[in-house]
């Protein structure tokens, strides 16, 4: 398996933007695995997460559009009000169907589709959040033997989301953001 068929998916809600920023800062510009970021934000919130991440990261931050190809060296950010799905041809598709877990984008939707397309080559990280979104998607990845990580609830700004995952997946790894960062760095193929 070459690194182009690997994927890192990160989901978070309340407190997730700060946590994901800490994890992604310092990853090199030529980081070998594409990263997809699904963060809940208020539906009426203007202002671009892409710009926020663009300023802080060496990786290129891109807001996902329909048919955007998935390539290494990029952080792909789920746009407000769309579910993000991964296609077999390694592009994204956007879907504005019903809210899931009161959310759109829903972490579960993206994680479950990552499990279908990338299977055991998926690394999924679930961060701080006040909802239960993400657990069933994380479980789908775990069942395909992907690597599943929950942020240490003791460190999370809101522990509900990582705790829900830890409780539903006995094999879930629990790490603080520093360890998650170090783990992702260790996956980088030079």
Question: Which residues are catalytically annotated?
Answer: 13, 40, 133
Burial track 79-90 (b if 16+ CB lie within 10 A, e otherwise): bbebbbbbeeee
DSSP designation for 121:
G
CB 76 within 8 A of CB 110: no
The contacts of residue 55 (CB under 8 Å, 6+ apart) are: none
> Packing angle between helix 16-24 and helix 49-56, nearest 10 degrees?
30
Beta bridge partners of residue 10, listed in sequence order: 37, 125
Please state, in angstroms and rounded to a whole number, the distance separating the CA atoms of residues 85 and 140: 14
């Amino acid at each position: 398996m070459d690194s182009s068929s690997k994927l890192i998916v990160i989901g978070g809600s309340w407190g997730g933007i700060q946590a994901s920023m800490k994890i992604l800062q310092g990853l090199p510009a030529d980081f070998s695995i594409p990263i997809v970021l699904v963060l809940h934000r208020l539906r009426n919130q203007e202002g671009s997460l892409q710009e926020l991440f663009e300023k802080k990261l060496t990786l290129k931050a891109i807001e996902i559009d329909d048919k955007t190809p998935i390539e290494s060296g990029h952080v792909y950010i789920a746009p407000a009000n769309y579910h993000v799905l991964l296609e077999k041809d390694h592009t994204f598709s956007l879907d504005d169907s019903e809210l899931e877990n009161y959310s759109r984008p829903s972490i579960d939707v993206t994680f479950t589709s990552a499990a279908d397309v990338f299977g055991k080559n998926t690394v999924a990280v679930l961060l701080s959040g006040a909802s239960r979104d993400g657990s069933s998607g994380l479980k789908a990845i775990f069942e395909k033997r992907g690597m599943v990580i929950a942020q240490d609830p003791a460190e999370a700004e809101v522990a509900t989301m990582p705790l829900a995952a830890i409780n539903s997946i006995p094999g879930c790894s629990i790490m603080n953001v520093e360890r998650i960062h170090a783990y992702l760095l260790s996956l980088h193929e030079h």
